[in-house]
Structures are given as structure tokens and as C-alpha cells.
Amino acid sequence: MTTNILICDDSLVARKHVANALPKDWDVTLHYAQDGEQALSFLQENGADLLFLDLNMPIFDGYEVLNVIKAQNIPVMTIVISGDIQELAQQRVRQLGAIGFVKKPLDSAALCQLLSEYGLYSSTTAPSSVPAMLTEPINLFDELQEMANIAMGQASSLLSKLLGVFIEQPIPKVALISPSELNMALTANEEQQHYAAVCQGFVGSGIAGEALMLFSDTDRHHMAELLKYEEAGCAEPEVEVLMDMANILFSAFIKGLGEQLDIAFGLAQPHLLGRHQPIANLVKFHGQKTEQMLCIEIPYKLEKQHIHCNLLVLLTADSVTRLEHKLTYLME
């Protein structure tokens, strides 16, 4: 009997990965959705036996899809496949009715085991037809955005465990920008006038760049409370908060990105760019460069804490060409 499967993910790369990870001898018909709204429309009109669902998507995210499925009692089994691997995220999706959770990058063996446990797949099954695979081309930005999404999830999971709070996962933004556009590219809270910034360089296999973290002055005080630092009004606890947060996010994100690229990045010592300054002053040095940069921007938000910070990963122009060659090799 053919199993009707809907794969829902805003990333073309991720949709292809899921389709390719399915057992080759499984009799399935594949359908695709680019966001939660498309997925719900398909389920309501056509139905499906199994839904593979991402969490971080535009329009309707995975949590909203699960809520609607539960509220409308839509008959479909759901397995979440996500880069958001926080324990709180896994608990929430199971409470909303998902039968399983598989983390990105996708492990086909783990997925196959989960399918077997629920009786959805048996290796003795003989396929009656070849499922429709995606043939759309993947570009550098598509692949890098999905890798950034996975690395972001690993960093968020580490931070969530440390702070005991849920980290809301954005969709990473990937773009080629000129140095003069860097200030405009930031999506930090405009109501906050002054920020602190920490920067750390990294290099590996001819790919070099910098990670930059921006914190508003208000967020810094809230973060000090979460980390249980004593605010004595002096500079040292303030700097400690900034450096600790930067170390957590930088090391986890760069490590996660490097693992996917099969590159062991070396990290320089982080350094403080400044405190209590407008964003334009903090990124002034980067704005003086002349070549375009590849920018990965991730605005982190801590749920119910009113804490926001911006993580930017900036790759040099020379690195973009090398990165493109590396990604082309990995996608073959």
C-alpha cells in the first residue's frame, strides 16, 4: 500500500535532504510544501498519511501547524525534522501531537528506525513506483542558509540549557552586502539607542571571517540577572556577561557550521569592540572596507525575557568563492 507523504520545509535544501533520506524500497508518494500555510491547505484538501514538518518557517511555523492539526483533528501522523534541537522544543512538539522528533542534519538511519518503530516502513516493502523527487537547482545561499539554521539550533540548544529558557528561533538571513550596507542590514531593536559588541575571527581551509554579536544596554542587564552575576556598577561584571555570551554563541555556531562543511575552524580570541555606543560606531571599522562580504544574520530572542541579541557572521570576498567550491563538492 502506497504511503502518502507531505514534506514541509521552507528550505529547498532541506526538502531534498528529507526526500533523499527516505528508504529506497519504500512505496511512497511525495508531496511538498514551502511553509505551514501551504501544508495545512494541502492536508485539508487532500489529506496525507505522514507529515515531515520543520519548525522555523515563514507565515505559519511548525508549532502553529501542529496546533491547527490538533484543533481540527486532522488525521495525519507528524514527525518533526528541525535544526531547533532545544529540549524544550522537543517537549513542546510532542505535547502538540508529533509522534517523533529528528534533528538536523538528518540521519537517514535514525529516520528509518523511527519509521520502523511506528510500523510505517518495513524493509520487505516493495515499491510500486518511483517517488517524485525535487529537481529544482540549489544555489549557494539556499545551502548556506540551511547550514546556518542547523548551526543556529545547536548554539540555541546550548544557550537554552545554560539559562533554562526557551530561545525563539528566527530564519537566518544570508546575503552579499557592501560594507556600507552593514548598518542597514542589522535588525536589532531600533528603540534601543546604545549597544555593546564583541567580535571574534575564525579561519579554516582558506575560508576566513568574523563573528560579531550586538547587545543592547538594556538586554545586558537582563542577561546578567539570568546568569546570576552580581551587578556592582563596575565594568568587570558587565564585560564578563558580554564575553560569556559571545563565547557560547560563537563557539557553538562556528563549530556547527564547520562540522557541516567538514572544516575545523580555528578561533581567535574574542575582543570587545565597545560599549554604550550606537550601532554605527560599533561597526565603523567593518564599514571602512571596500569589498563585499557574505553576511549571515541571526537575531536571537529569549522567550518571556525581553532579551534580544544579533549574531552576524561576516565572510570575506575571497572566502565566498572557496565556500562555493566547497558547497558544490558537498552537494555532488
d(CA 46, CA 230): 57
pLDDT tens string 236-275: 667 787 888 888 899 999 999 999 999 999 999 999 988 8
Pure H helices in 164-278: 182-185, 217-226, 235-261
The residue whose grid cell reads 524500497 is 25
C-alpha cell at position 209: 571571517
Residues 176/310, Cβ–Cβ less than 8 Å: no
To the nearest 10°, the Cα dihedral for 284, 287, 288, 290? 170
Beta strands in 122-270, from DSSP E residues, in sequence order: 167-168, 173-177, 195-204, 207-216, 266-267
Number of helices (H), then strands (E), in the chain: 12, 13
Q: Which domains does the chain have, with CATH numbers?
A: 3-117 (3.40.50.2300), 140-331 (3.40.1550.10)
CA angle 76, 77, 78 (to 5 degrees): 110
Instruction: Residue 148: name the closest of 268, 58, 252, 61 by CA.
Output: 252
CA 295 to chain centre: 15
Instruction: Supply the mean pLDDT for the chain.
Output: 87
pLDDT tens-place string over residues 94-152 = 999 999 999 999 999 999 999 999 999 987 655 545 455 666 767 888 999 999 999 99
